Structure 1
């Protein structure tokens, strides 16, 4: 009966086979390491690009907010100029009627006749010189003219500031567009990965379901927190503030709007209009701010207590619940609305 045992290898052949096996195992190990490194690099690049796009978006939001404020100031000053002009014209007409009546009753000097001109300043000087108007009327007209001149000067300055701010908005728009294009490119790179790998990279960590029992200190804070919790799982979209897509400051703005409080659509500006509190004093509903770069506040979330918050992290991610320790950014401070 023939034997079915494998033939015994010579020592030389056995060594060769062993070396081949080791080499194959090493190759697989190297491939696995290279794959892990590539995935890690893709995640790092993606996170960097998403963070940069959020910084650019927040900067654009801030520039727009400032431009809108300046435009409102210019409009208000223009309204004041119109009011002052109307008051001056009305006063001048009243003085003219008084002078006309005086002319009918007792005759009017040629000096006053020349004084009835379109320019309030010229009218004032000539009429006052002719003693045909009272000192009180003259003083009132003079004050109106002075006020109008000051308002016009303020408006000119505001218009200059507005023009500069509009240029800043245009620059911020270009930077935002470039950052979003880079973010889109980073997304296209990871789109070639498996669904599981993509989820690992884009999720940003955290949970899209509520896991923290929140006890807010007042009804407004409770309303803001409840609103944020109701948006868990909604998509991040730059410059969005609801009802179903948000960026970071858009989420906190919408949450507090639900509680009847108006906040600007920018993380740094929200920090400037809230009362600073320490982490140990922070309560549910407070805002927590993060640095997105050296000295730059570019991210914000709504605090839940116990080191947890809700935020809208970046493009490709969702509104999530996450811990301060896992968010990956340095806390800049806490603010009470």
Structure 2
């Protein structure tokens, strides 16, 4: 009867066959081991393209700027709270002195009455644990003279105010401590982001650094092209406006004469009546900003030797007599919003959706700004970064 079972695989029995089989098995195992090790090692250090590295570094710098603005806000708040605490402590010290003076006055009355014999109501008041309860006893208060009543009233008033001021000073100190903790945390965040960016850049080979520089050149060239296009449009707009003013005999803004010629591009912004005043202030702010060219970006810095982005714009407009808040988030709320096509020299241009960077427009699609760590105050196209919006601060 035929068997339906599968035939057995023939086993090699000769010594040569066994050696061959052993060799094949060893090679197979080695191959599997090598593949296994390669598969495990590959995901641990994924290869990043230079474009990905650049994007990562740019993101880290932007995150550092966000953390810098948080630091600036916390520092400004801490400075204000420290001033408040100092004033409260000074007031408390003065109030305590007044309370002690009132107490000494009461003591004078008590000593005089003690020498004349007996324990007077004034002495009872000084010995009482709760002076207010004593004072509420009208029949005893009736025994005090007018001067003594005033001394008691003064003491109670100074004592109550001193208690309130101590409590307020204590609350302010608690708020200051919380703000200082926030300040410390923001500082650590900035330092961590910058350290990570430096570490990424330090790993690049010479060839990768050259490629990164080429990407930067392309980015700058595109930003420059857009700036030139904006400058051309603004110049054309100004030319037409001058022709219209000349044709209708309308005084040129800021000059008081027809076709006075404002000079330079930067958009007219509609020619408001205070254009001349703004142009004068903006010229002072820009002169200050230009004088800072070449000074290094340092996060949290407000000059005079280094600046961060909002520190530079704040200092520049301060030189023109205009007070700006410390952070980009507050500066963007100052003044009037301006469309990019209507920008004038001196206007503030803000970048990214998180409003983490700011520069000062100088005309021709360019700005002066403090860019990032490792760079200095310089002129660049406003299109080097995505624009959030712009304001005219004065």
Could you state the TM-score of these two structures normalised by the residue count of structure 1? 0.70
Q: Matched residue pairs, number?
A: 290
What SS does the corresponding residue of 2:201 show, helix, strand or coil?
helix
Show structure 2 runs of 5+ residues with no match.
1-47, 225-230, 232-263, 267-275
Equivalent residue for 2:361? 303
Per the alignment, residue 289 of structure 1 pairs with 350
- Give the C-alpha shift of residue 172 in structure 1: 1.3
Q: What are the Cα deviations for residues 301-330 of structure 1, in whole angstroms up to 9, with x where unaligned?
A: 223356543211212333233343x13224
Q: Which residue of 1 aligns with 2:393?
A: 336
Judged with a 3 Å threshold, the aligned counterparts in structure 2 of structure 1 residues 282 and 311 are, in CA distance, closer, same or farther, namely: same
Alignment of 1:312-323 (within 5 A): 312-323=370-381
Preserved contact between residue 289 and residue 312 of structure 2 (Cα < 8 Å): yes
CA contact (8 A) 2:349 2:358 kept: yes
**151, 154, 159: which one pairs with 2:168?**
154
Query: Equivalent residue for 2:282?
Result: 221
Task: Summarize the alignment of residues 32-181 of structure 1 with structure 2, pairs less than 5 Å apart.
Answer: 38-101=49-112, 109-116=119-126, 122-123=130-131, 125-126=133-134, 129=137, 130-131=140-141, 132=144, 134=146, 135-181=149-195
CA contact (8 A) 2:301 2:308 kept: yes
Structure 1 runs, 4 residues or longer, greater than 6 Å off: 211-216
Asked if 2 retains the 8 angstrom alpha-carbon contact of 1:271 and 1:335, the reply is: no
Q: For the pair shown, which has the larger CA radius of gyration, 1 or 2?
A: 2
- Distance in 2, matches of 1:142 and 1:148, equals 10
Secondary structure of the residue aligned to 2:92 is helix
Paired residue secondary structure (2:357): strand
Cα distance in 2 between the residues matched to 1:133 and 1:333: 71
Cα RMSD, aligned residues only: 3.6
SS in 1 for 2:161: helix
Contact 1:202 1:316 (C-alpha < 8 Å) held by counterparts: no
Other-structure match for 1:254:
315
- Shifted more, 181-190 versus 212-221: the winner is 212-221
Q: How does 1:189-268 map to 2 (within 5 A)?
A: 189-190=203-204, 192-193=206-207, 197=211, 199-200=213-214, 205=220, 217=278, 219-261=280-322, 263-268=324-329
Paired residues of 1:95 and 1:133 also in contact (CA < 8 A): no
49 and 139 in structure 1: CA distance in 2 versus 1, 3 angstrom threshold? same
- Structure 1 residues 262 and 319, CA, compared in 2 at 3 Å: closer, same or farther? same
Tell me how far 1:87 sits from its aligned partner.
1.4
**Greater relative contact order (Cα 8 A, min sep 6): structure 1 or 2?**
1
Q: Which moves more between the two structures, 230-239 or 212-221? A: 212-221
Deviations 1:46-78 (A, max 9, x none): 322221222222222222222222222222221
Distance, in Å, in 2 between the alignment partners of 1:255 and 1:44 is 31
Q: Does 1:327 align with 2:341?
A: no
Q: State the 1:271 CA deviation.
A: 3.6
Higher relative strand content: 1
State whether residues 111 and 126 of structure 1, in contact with CA within 8 Å, keep that contact through their aligned partners in structure 2: no
| 3-state secondary structure, aligned to 2:360 | strand
